[in-house]
Structure 1
């Protein structure tokens, strides 16, 4: 029986989607047939990758919609507990595999424990929303629906879409390919064409190597991706060919090198054999050696090869000419860039929040579709889905050592200061969904000035010097600077660069010759587009460095207090907080010298 069969038909369901109890807790709300918002709890509670129930996110979403908990008709959970229960006895088949025997029973027990934990969460949801139907949704369905719905605006009007989801694990699935047909009125037909199951997991392998190299799994895979550009993949190429064999249907993973998964962090994810063939585990903070870069390079190369193979497989299985990609591995922007170049699709899209935080929206979409027969409005192209603070009022000194003035032309002020070489935080409008800052919770800098990347890494982001910084560019002139040849509004694709970019702004070009670009359309983000245009009027180039408003290890700043703390705790020069220019007291004075500005007392 379908998990949706008991859902009552409702003219206007209020659907709350939840990701809770696992990493990247979040909530999403659909009301009156429209996505109200998608909010990651970490942006409000300050705990990166928090597992906590998304209490603050839920509260904001209901307040935004003018609803009370008793008015929620459906709660959608982003996992299906019964699938974990079914995985427990299935784990015992690994008793026939000599390398996996020690893990077969622990794996079965861990699956049972996850089933119990998930059921307990669903019971807790019911107590929060006693009038609601609480429904479990298959994890990969949540990824697929969100990736599809978020990208329909840039898929060229195509009504047939291939959807590729690749992550670490969703119940038992790790990779799925779905053929989606978009119908009039928001209706969509889904036909699952391929499901690969654990242990064939790209996300598991990438996370395991990230941990082996001394960085945090589920958090710092991007650091390993950046390090890969400094390495030689040939050193460990054969190892990864054996570890991740490509097959006619997909790929596999050798459990002799990456042991059978047990759903507990206490179990190692690489084998002694893997360490013997590569290097000992690197301690966090230890020097990064060439062997580490070479290992990262071979991992990244194999990941790209597998992802392109899966994308080509999706094209063959569906016949679609456009592709939507979701799941945690979709955050590997270099792999997405390779898919754009090599897989033969006309357009490729990745949602703003491809990882688990986005599955709260995907779960809500699934239940809304089951109840109404259609997807809601407000999802396509939407990334600014969280809280904003439009009526903020600041004192002259919001923190010791800071001075605030209200600005009449904030885009001109920001563009001018960036052109002068300042590094400025930007906190304006609704909070972005997903791991990339898209101009609402960003740190901006000029890509034209020498030393800016070094300043950003050493004095502001406090991160490894080999990590690159991404550019944003006006979409209308993106082809002058980048070779991607398609929109990238959510900064999810690595693109090649033109000679103009290499000559004028080498600071945004990574060692591998790419840049993770965000294309800015004035219709989607008018303020940032005006800043880019103003910067171009001064410098000749509508391109800025855009990195997230945070420091390493902390979530993107979701509240004004977090943003002010980031300013005071880093080497940023200033912060544009809504229409308030907040600068350090030791900075050059503003006011009379800056047209269009007033102090708080003057306003």
Structure 2
């Protein structure tokens, strides 16, 4: 691994940002305001959505920066435990109500536990000031700073941060200083769109907090009219946002054993589906109505953000920001001139936001490096003992690596690509990807059935040369982080129907030579061979496992799946 930028002897402070103990653990390191590195723990531990302390991520960051734990000046944590108590008065508690009291106790318990965990970090970093940061503030700061803009509205929509669920702020960098955020709207639990979407995901037989994207894909196959009126009633849109109907959604109790939906929801829709049960029309229709109403709520929130801030640009963060269909609807509506979603909009990215917040409290140095997405470990000269993979063979790469890979893809091979630094966030952005030709008639079926081992209705996203994307996609802004669903042109429907989902969209990634020179070269070489500057890009993993962050994980993926080959840096592995 190549070391990160050397630490200057005059550095003012090192800030370590942590997302830990909830889900999607991650760590980020800022030196004098510069983001030196970031990685999600799952990419190293192989435990998807791990909630453990990000031990390996922290060790990598400190090792690469030549720091000892006692040299860390500030540890910033992405939740603020005491705020669970300060906000209890705003919770809808009713004396004599068992569920409400149980809910209050759970919030108090989590608040105390969070405070203990923050104090525990002091023993790991004995000379550091440990700074808890309000969860939505970490989302807001990261989403805005990652955009590189001078000003914008910021919309955060997730399941829960302390007791906040939805916030809107006006952000600016007036006078060249650090970002300033002015809060203009706050919704608190139980008004939570993330809570509702996760509850219905679970009702449909998938894991909430993990497989909401599967429900979003299924929605394209259903008819929303069947349950349209129901969702309008149970998630009503209001002048100040939205609410959840208490007859259908149970009060949140911060414990995994508590159900989120009341019996009235099943009576109005269908019985809960077990994961092994077949999908029926009612499941598809329920997903379609949920997604349609989510789009409407998100668009309403975007309009509120525009009216209350007067800004012409919008940054969106939080777990619901990963819903690329809703983001696409906001862009299509033209409410803002441009919409930005950072590469890690969910909780993992709050490690960066927490570190940024702590840095700005004590330093006037500007934040830098937050607009990048390739921030994790790289392995340019990894020594690999192939004894563990007796079925794999290494073969020489003939000539230029990008040209060689393009040849293999044009010939119809499905190839894993492990190249450069690990990207941030839930989308593979070319450095830990599975690539395939969109010209193969059977490519979607094969990818789902024998490579990814996932549901046959799930689509695959395209990556395209940014300079030619308009020929195939209707999106009128760049999409470097694969965060939005775009309409497609007639040319795309004719030449590459494999990348078009049932709803007529594709989750697009645009690639420039500056952002990713190697992948840009592969796309250009593929275009020279086929006439099409587009490839299918999905994450280098199989269902249920995290994106491969290490060479060993990538070789396991090749050995255990239907991948034809793996390019690991400029080495070529086949079976």
Question: Contact 1:383 / 1:433 at 8 angstroms: preserved in 2?
Answer: yes
**Could you give the per-residue CA deviations for residues 101-133 of structure 1, whole angstroms, max 9, x where no partner exists?**
331111111011101211121122100001000
Change (3 A) 1:274 1:500: same
State the alpha-carbon separation in 2 of the partners of residues 393 and 409 from structure 1. Answer: 22
Aligned positions of 1:516-531 closer than 5 A:
516-531=507-522
The aligned residue for residue 77 of structure 1 is 77
Question: Contact 2:33 / 2:365 at 8 angstroms: preserved in 1?
Answer: no
Shift of 1:243: 0.9
2:559 equivalent to 1:568 = yes
> 3-state SS of the aligned residue for 2:238?
coil
Change (3 A) 1:285 1:375: farther
Counterpart of 1:410 (choices 401, 426, 437) is 401
What is the aligned-residue RMSD (CA, Å)? 1.4
Aligned positions of 1:43-442 closer than 5 A:
43-88=43-88, 90-91=90-91, 93-95=93-95, 101-152=97-148, 155=149, 159-373=150-364, 375-380=366-371, 382-394=372-384, 399-407=389-397, 408-442=399-433
**Could you give the per-residue CA deviations for residues 462-495 of structure 1, whole angstroms, max 9, x where no partner exists?**
0000000000001111111100110110000000
Question: Contact 1:163 / 1:180 at 8 angstroms: preserved in 2?
Answer: yes
Question: Contact 1:231 / 1:297 at 8 angstroms: preserved in 2?
Answer: yes
> 3-state SS of the aligned residue for 1:518?
strand
Shift of 1:405: 2.9
Counterpart of 2:454 (choices 456, 463, 485) is 463
**Could you give the per-residue CA deviations for residues 45-67 of structure 1, whole angstroms, max 9, x where no partner exists?**
11101011000000111112111
Shift of 1:185: 3.4
Shift of 1:85: 2.1
Shift of 1:374: 5.2
Question: Contact 1:368 / 1:375 at 8 angstroms: preserved in 2?
Answer: no
Q: TM-score by structure 1 length? A: 0.92
The aligned residue for residue 3 of structure 1 is none
State the alpha-carbon separation in 2 of the partners of residues 242 and 312 from structure 1. Answer: 21
Shift of 1:446: 0.3
The aligned residue for residue 4 of structure 2 is none
Change (3 A) 1:476 1:126: same
Change (3 A) 1:467 1:353: same
State the alpha-carbon separation in 2 of the partners of residues 92 and 257 from structure 1. Answer: 16
2:19 equivalent to 1:23 = no
Q: Any stretches of 5+ residues in structure 2 without a counterpart?
A: 1-9
State the alpha-carbon separation in 1 of the partners of residues 533 and 67 from structure 2. Answer: 42
Indicate the larger mover: 297-306 or 176-185: 176-185
Q: Any stretches of 5+ residues in structure 1 without a counterpart?
A: 1-9, 585-603
> 3-state SS of the aligned residue for 1:81?
coil
State the alpha-carbon separation in 1 of the partners of residues 169 and 89 from structure 2. Answer: 27
**Could you give the per-residue CA deviations for residues 234-274 of structure 1, whole angstroms, max 9, x where no partner exists?**
11111100111111111111111111111111110011000
Q: How many residues align?
A: 565
**Could you give the per-residue CA deviations for residues 189-229 of structure 1, whole angstroms, max 9, x where no partner exists?**
21000000011100000000000000000000000000000
Question: Contact 1:25 / 1:54 at 8 angstroms: preserved in 2?
Answer: yes
Q: TM-score by structure 2 length? A: 0.96
> 3-state SS of the aligned residue for 1:412?
helix
State the alpha-carbon separation in 2 of the partners of residues 485 and 232 from structure 1. Answer: 28
State the alpha-carbon separation in 1 of the partners of residues 57 and 151 from structure 2. Answer: 34
